[in-house]
Amino acid sequence: MRHTTSALSIKLFVSPLGVPGTYASDHSVMCHAVHAHNMRAVKLGATFLETQAIITAFASPALKNAGITLDFLELGHEADFYNANGDRASNYSVSQYTAEWITFATNMTRTAHLAGSNTRFWGGAFALSSHSSTGFSPQGIFANNILSSEPGGFITTISQHHYSGSFCSGDGGLLQDLMTKATIRSNLSSFTPDIQATQDRNLDYVFGETNSYACHGAPGVSNTAGAALWTLDYALFASQLGISKVFFHEGIGYKYNLIQPAVLTRSILDGSPLATPQQPHVQPTYYAAIIAAEAIGDSGRTQAVELSISNTRISGYAFYEGGALKRAVFINSLAFLAGATNRTSTHLDLTFSGSGTKPKSFSVKRLVIGHADDTSGLTWGGQTYETVDARVGGTLSSETGTVAGGIDIPATQAIMISF
């Protein structure tokens, strides 16, 4: 295997101002739940009974003792698809939807006694967005006065559902397409008007349902090591735009799962029977969550900022605590696929500006991946999570380096530098 090296200079600020992407740690053992209620069937009585059942369940001693709380109710799952699914007229509009939402949500507000509880509403939950005040979007429901209604007063969060593509018709994108830095940025940046409109009303904006390719992922793409790099870059870049949380859609046997939580008797790729049942296990994208958690740390006051890098394949994020640079993550999203022989590598030159003390040395952990289309065999800092209980196994390994010497990052690899 031959390596080709290119050079790249990275500038890090040792005393940043106005750094976006603030992360707060929650060290409690609470489990925070969101209950989604679909409005496809226009049945107010069913809504009343379902809400009553949900509230009763979460008030039970069993759930209370387990530390499980109902934080939010989400009403109107992907209502912008109701007309295409035959559940509404072809000319179903956001104004009609908002009127329906207010009627249903008023019922839920009173049934759930929201005024006397900590449970609130997620608004929106659209599959797509018109990014305008005349279509299905946050702007659309704001323009139709959803927030001034009785239940609208309990909306604290606007939720958007979003996928990078769709496998619903059997067509999935190429792995390199998913991983590509520019694609991730253009894909997410299109929601900037929605995010701004939401924040202008002092509301939180989340991706309440997201992942790589809709309809449970694309085989040979969503379940691969390359998708781990996409997950890491996607989640971190989302924070830079003001998306406060991303909720990755999962299910038993879904191709894009971070974990497979149950025994599988059929292939996740084509549904064919497995000769030997597959035990619960982590998938490559799980490593992205581990890396993000380590980069953010547990201080409860971490701030992240994307580094401006002209290279179309290299993404970078710096992580600060109390204004001090602590860590940086770099991602080389060039897909090195099975069968390829020339694995390129990029050399990162690290330079610093600002008035703070400039570090001279660092330690490095690497997400080592054989090939972008591998479905196992990844290691993070020399360790694996592909164990029978998903607990980390193997011996931790890291490198040391000097700022003067920089660092190399091969194609299809992520690294975390700690200063």
In the chain (419 residues long), the average pLDDT of successive 10-residue segments reads: 53 51 59 91 90 94 92 95 95 98 96 95 97 98 98 98 90 88 97 98 97 96 98 98 96 97 96 97 98 95 94 97 94 98 96 86 98 98 96 96 96 97
257, 287, 321 - which closes a domain? 257
Are 219 and 317 in the same domain?
Answer: no
- Rounded Cα distance, 277 and 170, in Å: 25
- Rounded Cα distance, 256 and 220, in Å: 10
Are 174 and 108 in the same domain?
Answer: yes
- Rounded Cα distance, 209 and 163, in Å: 8
Matching residue, tokens 């001034």: 148
Are 231 and 343 in the same domain?
Answer: no
Q: Contacts for 246-249 with beta carbons within 8 Å, 24 or more apart?
A: 246/206, 246/207, 246/210, 247/206, 247/207, 247/208, 247/209, 247/210, 248/210, 248/211, 248/285, 249/209, 249/210, 249/211
- Are the beta carbons of 314 and 346 closer than 8 angstroms? yes
pLDDT tens per residue, range 262-283:
999 999 999 999 999 999 999 9
187 membership: H or E segment, kind and range: helix 181-189
201, 229, 257 - which closes a domain? 257
Q: Which of 185, 230, 174, 178 is nearest to 369 (CA)?
A: 230
Are 223 and 247 in the same domain?
Answer: yes
CA distances to 198, 234, 290, 395 from 122, rounded to whole Å, are: 12, 22, 27, 43
Helix (H), strand (E) counts: the chain: 9, 21
Are 13 and 43 in the same domain?
Answer: no
- Are the beta carbons of 346 and 408 closer than 8 angstroms? yes
Give residue 355's domain range. 2-20+303-418
CATH code (residue 334):
2.60.40.1180
**pLDDT at residue 275, rounded to an integer:** 97
Bridge partners of 366?
A: 415
Find the length of the chain: 419
pLDDT tens per residue, range 171-230:
677 899 999 999 999 999 999 999 999 999 999 999 999 999 999 999 999 999 999 999
Are 248 and 331 in the same domain?
Answer: no
Are 220 and 252 in the same domain?
Answer: yes
Are 95 and 183 in the same domain?
Answer: yes
Q: How many CA atoms lie within 13 A of 89 on its CB side?
A: 6
Which residues are within 8 A (CB) of 237 and not within 5 positions of it... i.e. 6 or more apart? 184, 185, 188, 306, 315
Are 354 and 247 in the same domain?
Answer: no
- Rounded Cα distance, 41 and 170, in Å: 28
Q: Which residues of 124-134 are buried (b: 16+ CB within 10 A; e: fewer)?
A: bbbbebbbeee
Backbone angles phi, psi at 376, to 5 degrees: -165, 180
Matching residue, tokens 């009303």: 201
Which residues are within 8 A (CB) of 43 and not within 5 positions of it... i.e. 6 or more apart? none
- Rounded Cα distance, 231 and 209, in Å: 14
What is the number of domains present in the chain?
2
The answer to whether residue 234 sits within a structural domain is yes
| Bridge-based pairing state of the strands 407-410 and 413-418 | unpaired
Are 216 and 307 in the same domain?
Answer: no
Are 333 and 237 in the same domain?
Answer: no
pLDDT tens per residue, range 88-118:
999 999 999 999 999 999 999 999 999 999 9
Matching residue, tokens 């602590």: 326
Are 179 and 42 in the same domain?
Answer: yes
